[in-house]
Chains A and B, each alone.
Chain A
């Protein structure tokens, strides 16, 4: 297949209108020396039926679905209502570009405006953008944004930050002559407050906090915000499991200046890591430094409400090298899915789902820690993930569980050598009691 709509007759007539004899002649500006003199060495063409076979075969080489999985740590397996797939797969949503012509893009623009509103409501902040690539780049953009606001070269990040997010922050800041300093965690699994106070004796632009953090522990944002603001820095909060916001107080209400995070939990399948959805919100004072597209409300010449891309003087196509970020294409369709998802769950459904996750995780924690030798590592409050400590190296236990077709959690030892006997266990609404009990029974056998 080549999806071409030009017939041989068209081709001849079109060439003759152009005044050429062959397709070859269209390319005379390309020097002979760099022309490809052979066919590309590619497989195909495959017919549609063959493509299906090819990808079915690849899908079958993935055996992940034969395992009962308790993996999370930045990517979460949540139930997706049928309307999300159904509505988002409409060609009118999938096949337009960035809404540069607002008069024929009101669907996309109004959906993004609703998305921005939902993110503001969840985060408790004034303004949200139309999306970023993912939670990790969101975290990096957040610290760079705080640097643009404050101008201090020091950026403080937590050691209990998702390791992917940390790596991306380091990649983004490396070339900009910025100092990234890590604040250790305490016994509760939270950011160590005295270390933060100590670190803030030297001026910094930002304190980044993840909550719930990589250990699943909810941070004391109110206190951390006071410490941060007393020292004149901005508080940026990053969230990898935004479902927690269905229950937890909005970070903006607790002092956060910027809130960013990963929106995958909101109606995006795990998809082996992408596409995902970065979101970002901030206080209105900082809007000129916010990266990415923003949709705003306006009126047309007849006074009817409409929506447009706005505040584009922050952006690369106007400001070029002086832009707040180089982002152009974002994650529009993922934001649309999140919008449909959040509006489907609504005021009651989101809260209930967060509560179900909380309760199931509490049950799993109780059952798993009732096994001799298994204990809860950190005392801080958790949402739907927690760290367990085992009597021996987790890698060994993990391998034994894998034999029983269970992926019992993420190992932490590589990033945190002191946690080599620990694992991060994640529970969602998709874990029925039966599945949790199967894990408990398997672990008992493994540790026997």
Chain B
């Protein structure tokens, strides 16, 4: 990373008359007087004017200020920051895919439809579910879609019901998605093992509960071993079991949500299936369902008849459309490419090594960092800053100090059930050398906490910018550049 050069905003290096593009001469006769009745913009005042050299340098320098998976270990818990294979980028960039208009006649896009139908089938097999929609644009969008399917079913039965149950360890999108779908959220407390308490569930589950949203393995990395019993309790009252599939990386090829009596789940193609996170999207959040919910899937549904693929909009019970067109098509291509490259054994191995790497980290750091729950974990584990707090050092300080070691910190302060959480998910693509580097850094930071806590509370020291004032950012929001008048 370049620390000496401060890269200005593009607007600050702009100067009149410079340009980075030329257009061909207009090859049709000019028509005068167009838009004469419409308010016209005289000028794009303050829009940048720079050369192509400047554009290239600007974004190359910006890129060098980013930490990324291509550079190193990125153990953000529940985000599954695995390596993004390069062949997937190459196939998704084929002009035969990128240049196709979404409203092209079906007969001219058979390859695209076949790709989508194929991925649907493979995801159905991996999850043990009956039908899949690829339409949702991200994980949270998949949650919303899944909750809408559940609601549509209850409405068809005559009553939408009122409540959705969400464990206190759940990701914030779960309660938010349920709320946007018109439900009131009831939180269920985790038990001393860090899992859903069956006794608690029995108490709150009734005919007004539409669904339970369960992440499995949960955000502590713990498998909800009672899941079948939980499903039975929910089903007995006519509710549905929704599974947040964010952590499917721990299960693929090992066990299937379908067999766990899950009724609907979403997947994150940008987590489990290796598509790049892009600095915050695009993601893709397919939803898989059991037969009972398939009539409600978003339109259009891709159908196949004798080798011909088509889009079916004639689905009277469908919840409708949740976004434009059919889904994040290029992301879908990358995910399919990934699954095909791994094959069945590779998918299983992916989960095995993800869990091995996580347990290796856990074992190596146990005792040095506090572990609230001693229940065995799968693909991730959640430590806390409890031991280091004694020296006045928080999870934030530990995270910022990791940056000085050239490593990306774990997810901080989540899940909420662990105070001062450090949630670590290494993924299967990391080498032992990278894992050991992280372990050694974490150990060194623990020593520093005891010997020189100030080193941590003032970290990071070697990054492009040092600790940033987030309070000021929120108190006096500056959300855009403006020309100094």
Contacts and interface: CB of A to CB of B under 8 A. Distances in A.
Interface string B278-301: 111111100000000000001100
B90 interface: yes
Contact of B19 (A45, A275, A349): A349
B27 interface: yes
19 contacts: A3-B85, A18-B356, A26-B356, A40-B344, A42-B125, A96-B66, A100-B411, A102-B470, A107-B61, A107-B64, A118-B47, A175-B182, A248-B35, A310-B477, A322-B179, A334-B278, A346-B48, A346-B50, A381-B37
Contacts of A75: 101-103, 324-325
A277 B332 CA distance: 16
Nearest to A87: B59
Interface in A225-265: 245-250, 253-254, 262
Given A83-B20, A317-B414, A30 B151 contact: no
Contacts of A346: 14, 18-21, 47-50
Contact of B468 (A54, A102, A330, A362): A102
Nearest to A72: B101
A274 B473 contact: no
B190 interface: no
Contacts of B144: 326
Interface in A56-105: 56-67, 69, 71, 73-75, 77, 81, 83, 85-87, 89-105
A198 interface: no
A340 interface: yes
Interface in B142-173: 143-144, 148, 151, 160, 171-173
A160 interface: no
A343 B12 CA distance: 12
Given A95-B70, A250-B41, A272-B112, A71 B323 contact: no
Contact of B85 (A1, A93, A312, A333): A1
Interface residues of A, number: 203
A358 B35 contact: yes
A344 B319 CA distance: 41
Contacts of B253: 36, 39-40
Contact of A77 (B99, B177, B259): B99
Interface stretch (B198-206, B335-343, B384-392): B335-343
Given A327-B140, A346-B50, A135 B126 contact: no
A55 B94 contact: yes
B28 interface: yes
Contacts of B337: 51, 55
Nearest to A219: B38
Contacts of A43: 122, 340, 343
A79 to B, nearest CB: 8
Given A297-B473, A302-B466, A42 B31 contact: no
Contact of B363 (A18, A39, A120, A360): A18
B27 A175 contact: no
A87 to B, nearest CB: 4
B356 A6 contact: yes
Nearest to A14: B360
Interface string A346-376: 1111111100101110110010000000000
Contacts of B283: 329
B95 A65 contact: yes
A167 interface: yes
B254 interface: yes
B181 interface: yes
A285 interface: no
Interface in B56-84: 56, 58-71, 74, 76, 79, 81-84
Interface stretch (B233-241, B425-433, B448-456): B425-433
A407 interface: yes
B469 interface: yes
